[in-house]
Amino acid sequence: MKAGIVYHDDLLAYDFGGGHALRQLRVKLARDLIQAYGMIDGSAEELRPKPADVETIRRVHTADYVAAVETLSADPRGASYEHGLGTADNPVFRGMFEATALHAGATLLACAEVGSGRRSRAFNLGGGFHHAMADRASGFCIFNDLALGITSLLEDHGMKRVLYVDIDAHHADGVQAIFYEDPRVLTISLHEDGHYLFPGSGFTDEIGKGKGEGYAVNVPLPPYTRDVSYLYAFQEIVPPLARSFKPDVIVAQLGADGHELDPLTHLCLSTETYEAVARILGELSNELCKGRWVATGGGGYAMTAVPRVWTLAAAQMAGATLDDALPVAWLKECNQLAGEVPAGKSLRDHRREDEEAHVPRAAKRTVEELRRNVFPFHGLR
Ligand SMILES: [Zn+2]
């Protein structure tokens, strides 16, 4: 079974206009790098998404909000501040509904491929809109493709437990809120501490509510967190909770904005961390849920970093081994479209480390707090 890579050029129509930080060009560059490495029609297969329909989108979003997106999409001269639309973060644009529905449909396709057993792994490079709330847009996110995909895995594909792991540098507040009282979905978000970064939430005491108590997990990390501390926190929290939760499928949001080149956040990760995280997620999926693993993209605003991060993740999903020298044709394209190429023309960063010898106290404290606050709900200490 080849891994599925979900992509369509129409995903680039999700465009807030010049000057906005989010540029879907990164999705095309990622897809083209994966292709340049020979993975498409090699160890992976490209899948073409269709837009999600209104009825499906309403499974997660309020009818009011969906209607507001549709109206402003047809006539983008207004705004709907109660729905978070028309702000500096989420400007409205013509065709916004169609572009957003296609992203949702792309994650739904990845979930359907894995949920139906057609393949064990699928990666929607364009998805990952984890800030979108049931009734409003937030943080460049309009429809929450992740929540729609998870809902479909639960309701349409007989999955009883979904492990959601989010490594975007921003807190996965939308996905967390939508499943906050639902013990079928264990959400784990690792992110830069909300004291320093949007959306200002995701602290260790946000652990879920009602039946969902213990099923929301937040791992805030201080600005300038580097590979060693990040991987320490990931290893201490994710595998033990995953093993005790025993998911039927893993859904991972692989936002790449924690990379050290990213202009919007203050985490300092290298590509090596992303590759390691993807490797661990792959191993956990093999160990716990027959390899079932859906991934999406997410944030990521450095054009020379995001395609490399997602290509490394795709290789882990597909079981491909990639040469470190970036393909010449892709370098040309990257230079032409993004106006720059990765330093060293290399897939991996190979950061020469002055890396910390010890994990800083803040990361250790976060892990300690979670062991105290959340682990007991899962019979862990
Ligand atoms: Zn982000």
- Contacting residues for 85 by C-beta, under 8 A, at least 6 apart: 68, 69, 72, 79, 92, 136, 137, 142
How far does residue 251's CA lie from ligand 1's centre (Å)?
Answer: 17
Burial call 20-43: b when 16+ CB within 10 Å, e when fewer: eebbbbbbbbbbbbbbbbebbeeb
Residues in the chain where the model's pLDDT stays below 50? none
The number of domains in the chain is 1
What is the rounded CA–CA span in Å between residue 8 and residue 50? 9
How remote is the CA of residue 266 from the centroid of ligand 1, in Å? 11
- The 10s digit of each residue's pLDDT in 19-29 is 888 898 999 99
Q: How many CB atoms lie within 10 A of CB 339?
A: 9
pTM given for the model:
0.97
Residues in the chain: 381
Report the pLDDT value the prediction gives residue 358, as an integer from 0 to 100: 74
> Of 192, 122, 179, nearest to 151 (Cα)?
179
Q: Note the maximum CA span of the chain.
A: 56
Closest CA to 46 of 122, 99, 103, 152: 122
Question: Smallest Cα–Cα separation from 159: which of 212, 116, 188?
Answer: 116
Distance CA 334, CA 343 (A): 12
Kindly give the distance from the C-alpha atom of residue 132 to the centroid of ligand 1, in angstroms, as a whole number. 12
| CATH code of 229's domain | 3.40.800.20
- Strand 121-124 vs strand 216-221: parallel, antiparallel, or unpaired? unpaired
Q: What is the pLDDT of residue 305?
A: 98
pLDDT of residue 245: 98
Q: Which of 8, 61, 83, 131 is catalytic?
A: 131
Using only C-alpha atoms, the chain has a radius of gyration, in whole angstroms, of 19
What pLDDT score was predicted for residue 355? Answer: 64
Q: What is the pLDDT of residue 136?
A: 97
Is 83 a catalytic site residue? Answer: no
Position 357 scores a pLDDT of 66
Q: What is the reported pLDDT for 193?
A: 97
Name 354's Cβ contacts closer than 8 Å, sequence gap at least 6. Answer: none
Return the pLDDT at 19.
85
Give the pLDDT score at 353: 64
Distance 14 CA to ligand 1 centre (A): 16
- CA-CA-CA-CA dihedral for 136, 16, 332, 271, to nearest 10: -30
Structure confidence by residue, pLDDT tens digits, 207-221:
999 999 999 999 999
Structural domain range at position 14: 3-378
* Residue 256 Cα to ligand 1 middle (Å): 7
pLDDT at position 67, please? 98
> Could you tell me the distance, in angstroms and rounded to a whole number, from the CA of residue 42 to the centre of ligand 1?
30
Distance CA 284, CA 290 (A): 9
pLDDT digits (tens, 9 = 90+) for 221-237: 999 999 999 999 999 99
Q: How far is the CA of 193 from the centre of ligand 1 (A)?
A: 12
